[in-house]
Amino acid sequence: MEMEVSTCFRFLLALIFVLALIGILAWIARRYGVLKGTVRPASGERRLEVIEVAPIDSKRRLLLLRRDNTEHLILMSPTNELVVEKGITRPLSQPTDTPS
């Protein structure tokens, strides 16, 4: 009986140790972008930005993304992604409505 309690206790400690080790390794992998195969850019070097998200219905939405100085309009759904328009150049200045 004494041997069984000791064996169960050692098994429990080993299980806790292995789970903690997996958690620490997953945190490190996420922190340094190893899981996705990407490297996080420095804070001022980001090239990709979500400009606007417009819901169409409960399952679909339009995304306006900017990469460098070019914008792309993308239709997202649970089963598909569709590029609606690409290579949209950003206007230098927005026209203002002035009453005449």
Residues 65 and 81 in one domain: yes
Quick check: pTM over 0.85?
no
Residue 100 resides in a domain: no
pLDDT, residue 45, reads: 74
Residues 54 and 75 in one domain: yes
Domains identified in the chain, total number: 2
Residues 36 and 68 in one domain: no
Residues 29 and 57 in one domain: no
Q: State the Cα angle at 83 between 77 and 84, rounded to 5°.
A: 100
- Which domain, by its residues, includes 59? 48-89
Residues of the chain with pLDDT under 70: 1-3, 33-44, 90-100
Residues 52 and 85 in one domain: yes
pLDDT, residue 95, reads: 56
pLDDT, residue 29, reads: 81
**What is the torsion angle, in degrees rounded to the nearest 10, for the CA atoms of residue 36, residue 40, residue 41 and residue 47?**
40
